[in-house]
Amino acid sequence: MKPGQNAKIKDLQVGDYFEDETKTLFRKISPVPIQDVVLNIVDVYTKTMISVNEDYDIVFLKHLPWNEDIDRHEIFWPTIDESGLEHQIEFFENYLYMMESFIESQINDCNRELENYPKDYEPNYDQTYQIGEMIVKGDPVAEDIREINDRTDELENYSNLLRKSYFISLYTFLESRLDRECIQRGKYNSDTKIKLKDLNGRGITRAKTYLVKVLGSNFPFGTSTEWKEIQGYRELRNCIVHSNGEVAGTKLENYIEKHDGLSFDSSGWVFLTKDYCTTVLTTINKFFAAQYHYFIYDEIQDY
């Protein structure tokens, strides 16, 4: 059977890779009986075993010998790349949760303090009150309310600083993992002696060039929604690192206006919300998951 040939499940051998009309990658496996069902294929990406009709239409991709012990084990256990990514994403999820929980608890403390005062309190600064042995003119209640509101404003600024730091950490993770993917896959590619460090430039742009031009990756950088979003992350990262987040008069103003969870104040300083941080983490996770999916395709073609 030739790659790209239309066929049916019953035409395949155990070990054959194929895809369906949705372009999902599958592999035919030795039958696994479970009660009244026989599982006969596996989704290569999700590692889910499935039962499908033998007359199901597919497109044959490639045959690789099936090793019952090795291949069956790989169905149930993630690769080092997958498990490492899962662990790191979980770390960032926990990091964000603890950071936001701290911010929320501090702001709630301020709000609880404000509940002890009338919401429509009218200050009277002509009165006097005693502090120790001193008699002071002013309104102690108004001063207390002002101090609490000042602390709340500081917490808002503090939370934005924490979120910007979190965002930079996430982007650094993206860059370093992408570079590592290039280095590792280049090391095992016998067709090239070119290394990532041999290319001009740096960051995600250099990594993309290496994957596509040197390693011949089929990953759809041109149409990937996640990759498009990551270009915006790069601009925002550079703005935060080099200009402390001042976006006034830059093209980032348009980007911020189009993205929920981002804003900038009258002075042009960017503000990030918890939801935006969550979205960035989700996008990066989806990007690497999709990339891993295409790496599998590439590896199949290399055999």
Per-residue pLDDT tens for 20-59?
888 888 889 888 887 678 889 888 776 778 899 999 999 9
Tokens matching residue 55? 């007359």
pLDDT at site 267? 87
Residue 77, CB-side half-sphere exposure with 13 Å CA sphere: 8
Reply yes or no on whether the pLDDT at 147 is more than 60: yes
State CA 43 to chain mean position distance: 23
Instruction: Provide the 3-class DSSP secondary structure of residue 272.
Output: strand
Strand (E) positions, the chain? 6-8, 16-19, 25-34, 37-43, 48-50, 57-63, 128-131, 134-137, 262-264, 270-272
Instruction: Look at 67-71, 181-185, 218-222 and tell me which has the smallest mean pLDDT.
Output: 67-71
Q: 189: pLDDT confidence band, cut at 50, 70 and 90? A: confident
Is a pLDDT exceeding 70 seen at residue 239?
yes
pLDDT at 65 (0 to 100): 81
pLDDT(126) > 80? yes
The pLDDT of residue 162: 94
Considering only residues 132 and 206, tell me which one the structure prediction assigns the higher pLDDT.
206
Largest CA distance in the chain: 98
Alpha carbon distances (Å) from 122 to 45, 116, 117, 143, 145: 64, 15, 11, 12, 11
Place of tokens 């001063």: 143
* More confident: 153 or 72: 153
Question: What ranges make up the beta strands (E) of 171-288?
Answer: 262-264, 270-272
Average pLDDT for residues 138-151, to the nearest whole number? 88
Query: If we measure between CA atoms, which residue out of 232, 221, 223 comes closest to residue 279?
Result: 232
